Amino acid sequence: MFSEKANSIFQDAINTYKVLNTIDQPFENKYSKDEDLIAHLLYRKCWIDTVQWAYEDIIRDPNIDPLGALKLKRMIDASNQDRTDTVEYIDSYFLDKYNDVEVKSDAKINSESPAWAIDRLSILALKIYHMHLETVREDATDTHKDACQKKLNVLLEQRVDLSTAIDDLLEAIGSGDKYMKVYKQMKMYNDDELNPVLRGQK
């Protein structure tokens, strides 16, 4: 099933990042886009999410230097754009994959595209990873560990449900029971022409 492959690649990306566990480490994709394009995109997607998770932790430091916080905010903005672009690349992959499917006359559209559901699955992998760490923290109380274990159980159940939903959606698209229709995000605040503040600085 597709979700098994995706979850395995997400775990691989997280584990690889955590070896050095620093936002400054270089990114090297383990999967060739020529040999396995979707694996290449999934690994990149989760790496972006893993780095951004670290960004979000760092920027919440109450003692962070204001200039450093501003620089980090710019990095988060760039990461968000990279994340969105990668999600759209994943949807493009599926649009091409299912391009020749004969769509049934009563086919329905899904509320979200496959890639945006996969986006949630990638972030869920990070939540599971970090919540698990809280259940085994040596300096944490038993009460804290027990509370985090309950949350972890919910997250694990959520991953099963989301994985099943993604597999079902892809099967439905592949059989023509559902069809894909992708709307680009069209974010305006990073665009020199669409953001009035940026436009005014030209």
Q: What is the pLDDT of residues 184-195, one digit of tens each?
A: 766 666 677 767
Measure the CA–CA gap between 140 and 66, rounded to whole angstroms. 31
Measure the CA–CA gap between 202 and 187, rounded to whole angstroms. 19
Instruction: Give 179's DSSP letter.
Output: E
Q: What is the pLDDT of residues 94-144, one digit of tens each?
A: 999 999 999 999 999 999 999 999 999 999 999 999 999 999 999 999 999
Q: Which residues pair with 108 in a beta bridge?
A: 178
Query: How would residue 87 be classed by pLDDT, with cut points 50, 70 and 90?
Result: very high
pTM, entire model: 0.90
What's the N-to-C CA distance of the chain in angstroms? 50
